[in-house]
Structure 1
């Protein structure tokens, strides 16, 4: 299963549960760093490893986002996929399968790993416990889902000089997905048309 598809399927695993004791400093720091980017564009390099460290997949692509909830994540060929959110719905398009998965965007969805960067960050602590560590210009945040049936054990977000640098997802069997962000640009005007998606003629559509 592709890492992008796993990110979308993780949506249903993040149920809102009563807040627990968090590292208040970590939550406040992460909220401030995420909130400073009202728009963001970047290239990314993505590497997926199994529990033993063997490489499973390596991809690259481009992403753009605009708060609240607008998101476009395009993985380059030959493993091309596209994840698009217009703030109301999310489309996952797989050209090889000629298949589109559509899901309604709700409050929980904005806190899944795929859309955390573009969502409402004010309620992060409802879905995750957050800790952080700092070293020089780098700050790492570890987010652990509070839902026990989550597909992910933890998510690490790393910022360098106040800008998102990379993230890592680890699942219950130890599979790791590392995503490095390159050429990050924040708060530049973005064309709203890139956050809409037209289902290609003849594509299979799965609505969840």
Structure 2
């Protein structure tokens, strides 16, 4: 981390911190006053997105259904598969709460980040104790990608949008597979909503 003044905030991000068992202790030992921001989305959609990204790099992997279930007929989900395990948010949160109070963790809705980016970022700015500077005027909807992008800053001729790997069309999954996964995640989701005091409405 670069050294910062009292008036500055240093930020660091990676998708794997939240689900890495050793991360909370390491971050706590570095700075117990850290504020943590976690972007979460519907775990079923997240798993399909995860699979879609892996498939783009390794086209010969088994089907989503083959990886997601130990026994599809019995509805036995394979929670050891990373794409499934990551979406069991409550388990990861329990690990973080051993080191950090909930007041230092802010959860961003991945769905609302698409439908109301300024609103979600407004709440992030509040959480960080910043003045609300980022507003609706900073975004435009990119029809090709299917989500909002930042308008170009005055210093650049190009708008700022997420990379090529973002916004790709998901693999088509049978509706009954989606329903089975919804059932699997429901108890984890409900406990997660209760713990964070917010219903993300993933059912």
| TM-score greater than 0.5 by the shorter chain | no
The structure richer in helix per residue is: 2
Report the TM-score, using the length of structure 2 for normalisation.
0.30
Say which one has the larger Rg: 2
More relative contact order in 1 or in 2 (CA 8 Å, sep 6+)? 1
The structure richer in strand per residue is: 1
Report the TM-score, using the length of structure 1 for normalisation.
0.29
